[in-house]
Structure 1
Amino acid sequence: MNQLDYIHDLATFTALWSRARMGVQSLVSKSRDELLYFDPIDIATQKFFDLIQALVAFANTTDFATVILKPDPFNYFHHYFGKYPGFVHKKNNSDEEFFHFMMQDPGGSLADALGVNHEHYVIMPTDGDWLAFGDRSWDVGVFYGPPEIMQCAREFYPFFIQPPSGFRVEP
């Protein structure tokens, strides 16, 4: 049985959403060389999930949050489904639960599953200062964190890519 669930509480979601938005906004001022890039569809791959798990373990924490920033989580997702497009993956949750939940129907619209209907998403530890930002409109994801986290990510994940010409973070 899947123990993951959407966030139903406005205050809980808003705190994660605000932190995710501030993290993405901070990427705007970073030079291209400070960032690592990935295909945003990697969110649906085992190796990317393993990277996230490796990073939370490296940072000596266990939980991470997935938050959808676009489409609008308040006027669209919450309006239609009565919950917020995000969840916290805890130590006792499995990779199978993560992938199943990403494809779960939020309520009468399988096309709005988090793994399908996301233009911008953020994955970040609940306690920590790195983040992975996926932007499907550019077809690129951006990873950023402290130097030791960046080094861990580089050594663990062989699928980082070069960003497209002209790419810029657009929160």
Structure 2
Amino acid sequence: MMNTIDFIRERSEFMPLWERATTGVRMLRDKLPTELLYFDTIDLQTQKFFELVQKLLALEGMTDFATLVLKPDPFDYFNFHFGKYPGFIHRAENTDDEFFEFLLKDPGGSLADSLGTNSEHYIVMPLSAKWIAFGDRSWGTGVLYGPPDVMECAKSFYPFFIVPPKGFRIDP
């Protein structure tokens, strides 16, 4: 079966997602540590984390979600070198295998720049719901934040939340 997930190629499609993602990261900086759930950034590439995303989407009656890389710079680095944007949309018809395969897809002559390899800061978020997952690989730590029902669902479903490292903060 052919993978139908692809990089976002149009600036007009990427910009609204990027704006929501960067607004979400700014919002996360203002949250108390007790308001967030923490995870290891490598979890993005695990089946259980993918199932968590699916569970949270289902809770809100959604199916589609976006995965974006915010660092390295999507514009001056990724788009400049590859003519596309470091993000994709996983739709209801896509499988978990396609998701994991796409995370390691070569963006064009540079396998080291796959989203799963070269993503210091990444975001996973539904296309229209109110939760967000942010990963900072320099800390090895990610955070999940959403409305109370989302947070309760996540806590009861996902057994791999962690205590953040001492001094952890969400940087720009």
TM-score under structure 1 normalisation?
0.99
Unaligned runs of 5+ in 2: none
2:61 partner SS: coil
Cα deviation 1:35-94 (Å, max 9, x = unaligned): 000001100000000000111011111100001000000000000000000000000000
Task: Flag as ranges the 4+ runs of structure 1 deviating above 3 A.
Answer: none
Q: What is the RMSD of the two structures over their aligned residues, measured on CA atoms? A: 0.5
Q: Aligned AA for 1:39? A: D
Q: Residue 127 of structure 2 corresponds to which residue in structure 1?
A: 126
The 5-angstrom pairing of residues 140-159 of structure 1 reads 140-159=141-160
Q: Residue 112 of structure 2 corresponds to which residue in structure 1?
A: 111
Unaligned runs of 5+ in 1: none
Q: Residue 28 of structure 1 corresponds to which residue in structure 2?
A: 29
Q: Does 1:43 align with 2:44?
A: yes
Identical-residue share of aligned pairs (%): 60
- Using the TM superposition, give the Cα deviation of residue 146 of structure 1 relative to its aligned residue in structure 2, in angstroms: 0.3
Q: Residue 66 of structure 2 corresponds to which residue in structure 1?
A: 65
Q: Aligned AA for 1:144? A: Y
Cα deviation 1:121-158 (Å, max 9, x = unaligned): 00000010100000011110000000000000001100
TM-score under structure 2 normalisation?
0.98
State the distance in 2 between where 1:170 and 1:130 align: 19
Q: Residue 164 of structure 2 corresponds to which residue in structure 1?
A: 163
